[in-house]
Structure 1
């Protein structure tokens, strides 16, 4: 069964816009998957002080891969692009997060869907709204309601 998955992309090292473009190309080549949409790129402040600003986007991927197989494939893309997991919320060449996976609620040690912090992150919600306006999550939350509680502060839509 093919499911629509929304994936958050972020980078703040080594030419972040190029990192996101390369990641999108790699995602488009994933087995049993088709890249069906990409939001605008946004610049956002880092969660920790003293780090470079992030470039963020959201991609829509139609896939028949199981959730953990997709997670493994996305982590392989991160690793190929030089991702090092040393500091939580530290600077990174690439971060790929599964935000939503069809209408599934997933609570695995390695994967929580809907993504557990997306409601607090303008750099996730606003790009997601470009791809899926009016979306209702599997847990019943509405994207419009989350947007109303998450101001467009510290976020800049980048020219395409």
Structure 2
């Protein structure tokens, strides 16, 4: 199955944290690297006022892991980079969101698939379309079509920052 994960950071050494997350996600068996998007600097969406900008990227992988196992891995990576959950949509060292896992659908409160707001977030769709322009979000359609209807303001390519494939 194809898995798409969104990475974000707006605290600390943001770029180093994103690169560390890419490397750590693939340290254990079960995920095969496919692609990593360019890095974008984005205005915060939701949450408390006064947050610093985020760095965001998308990772595409192939996996045989069940979504719950993939969620456990994502949360372990977040914890390894000092993620603290104090405030919804608050600042964070690292956020790793499962966007889609194959065609899996889930309305479980612990893991909703596809991600319930991905289809309306330019900071997810802009980097994703760069590495998988024909991708679709189950139940919502092609990401390129979804992106065409969104405001891309506040999403800026960081040409000076390039994530590397995992070691």
| Range into which the TM-score falls when normalised by the shorter chain | over 0.9
Question: Aligned equivalents of 1:140 and 1:43: distance in 2?
Answer: 25
The aligned residue for residue 43 of structure 1 is 41
Q: Deviations over 1:12-41 (max 9, x none)?
A: 001111110000000121321112110000
Unaligned runs of 5+ in 2: 163-167
Q: How well do the aligned residues superpose, as a CA RMSD in angstroms?
A: 1.1
1:140 shift after superposition: 4.8
Question: SS state of the match for residue 124, structure 2?
Answer: helix
Aligned pairs, number? 158
Question: SS state of the match for residue 68, structure 2?
Answer: helix
1:138 shift after superposition: 2.3
Question: SS state of the match for residue 62, structure 1?
Answer: strand
Question: Aligned equivalents of 1:85 and 1:106: distance in 2?
Answer: 23
Does residue 153 (structure 1) correspond to residue 157 (structure 2)? The answer is no
The aligned residue for residue 29 of structure 1 is 27
TM-score scaled by length of structure 2: 0.90
Q: Deviations over 1:118-149 (max 9, x none)?
A: 12211100111012112223225221221111
Say whether the 8 Å CA contact 1:119–1:150 is kept in structure 2.
Answer: no
Question: SS state of the match for residue 136, structure 2?
Answer: coil
Instruction: Check 1:140–1:87 CA distance in 2 against 1; reply closer, same or farther (3 A cut).
Output: closer
TM-score scaled by length of structure 1: 0.94
Runs (4+) of structure 1 moved beyond 4 Å?
none
Map residues 5-16 of structure 1 onto 2, 5 A cutoff.
Answer: 5-16=3-14
